[in-house]
């Protein structure tokens, strides 16, 4: 069984999706609502998969906030999963790579779990099938990565530890692959899916969610609800780029 660590921040307006707030019409409060939806869908996908859920959160003092991080995240997840089912642990590390690496190493080497998955709520369209598909691939490849545009990574799963120092250095997909190959490990990949960081990412996600909803295809339910209530529109340009507008 894969232990899937959801590395999350409290859904607070001062820290939620800062690059998106800086590049889009969204306010901090709206970004916090969106992050809450993403967090709920990510946790739900893990809970419905064959993996074991671990919510790995950053403490408020590391974010400069005067809140209870665990309490905020638990409140955001109220009604999504059984309150007693997720395991909550504080993240340790100064960088995302450090926190992800510390979590993966501890689980693999100290707790002796069979495999570890690492995901952030920003992996907006990650589904239960992706998590279960990665678990199947781990049977033959010790490292499985979910690519995202821009060389980013939506999901990383490990049956063996790698050198995690700066392992998410851009392009993270290539860096993680190289680290695995340096250890002599085979690497396999999931389908490419978006990773939400900027306004351009959100525009792509809005188009995907709206079209899939119209076609009655499967969509992350909380993100779909946020999108349905949003007044954001997407403009397509001749060069193929997308921009957001109100």
What lies within 8 Å, CB to CB, of 167 at 6+ separation is: 97, 100, 101, 175, 176, 179
**225 located within any domain:** no
Q: How many residues does the chain have?
A: 246
What lies within 8 Å, CB to CB, of 182 at 6+ separation is: 162, 163
Q: What is the pLDDT of residue 86?
A: 87
> What global pTM score does this model have?
0.96
First to last CA, the chain: 44
Which CATH number covers residue 187?
3.90.550.10
**41 located within any domain:** yes
Please say if the pLDDT value at position 125 is more than 90: yes
Closest CA to 131 of 220, 23, 25: 220
pLDDT tens profile 133-162: 999 999 999 999 999 999 999 999 999 999
**17 located within any domain:** yes
**204 located within any domain:** no
**210 located within any domain:** no
Q: What is the pLDDT of residue 121?
A: 98
Q: Residue 149: give the domain boundaries.
A: 2-195
Q: What is the pLDDT of residue 85?
A: 78
User: 58-93 burial, b for 16+ CB within 10 Å, e for fewer?
Assistant: bebebbebeeebbebbbebbeebbeeeebeeeebeb
**214 located within any domain:** no
**215 located within any domain:** no
Number of structural domains found in the chain? 1
**16 located within any domain:** yes
What lies within 8 Å, CB to CB, of 185 at 6+ separation is: 141, 142, 143, 160, 162
Please say if the pLDDT value at position 55 is more than 90: yes
């Amino acid at each position: 069984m894969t232990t899937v660590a959801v590395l999350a921040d409290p859904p607070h307006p001062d820290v939620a999706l800062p690059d998106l707030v800086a590049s889009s019409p969204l306010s901090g409060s709206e970004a916090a609502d969106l992050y809450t939806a993403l967090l709920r869908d990510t946790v739900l996908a893990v809970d419905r998969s064959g993996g074991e859920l671990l919510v790995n959160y950053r403490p408020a003092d590391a974010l400069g906030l005067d809140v209870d991080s665990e309490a905020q995240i638990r409140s955001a997840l109220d009604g999504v999963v059984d309150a007693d089912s997720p395991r909550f642990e504080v993240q340790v590390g100064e960088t995302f790579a450090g926190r992800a690496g510390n979590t993966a190493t501890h689980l693999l080497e100290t707790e002796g779990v069979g495999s570890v998955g690492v995901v952030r709520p920003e992996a907006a369209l990650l589904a239960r099938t992706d998590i279960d598909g990665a678990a199947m691939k781990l049977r033959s490849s010790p490292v499985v990565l979910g690519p995202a545009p821009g060389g980013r990574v939506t999901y990383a799963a490990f049956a063996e530890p790698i050198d995690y120092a700066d392992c998410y250095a851009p392009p993270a997909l290539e860096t993680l692959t190289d680290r695995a190959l340096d250890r002599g490990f085979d690497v396999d990949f999931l389908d490419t899916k978006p990773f939400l960081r900027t306004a351009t990412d959100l525009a792509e996600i809005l188009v995907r969610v709206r079209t899939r909803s119209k076609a009655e295809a499967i969509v992350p339910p909380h993100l779909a609800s946020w999108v349905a209530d949003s007044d954001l529109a997407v403009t397509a340009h001749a060069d193929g780029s997308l921009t957001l507008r109100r």
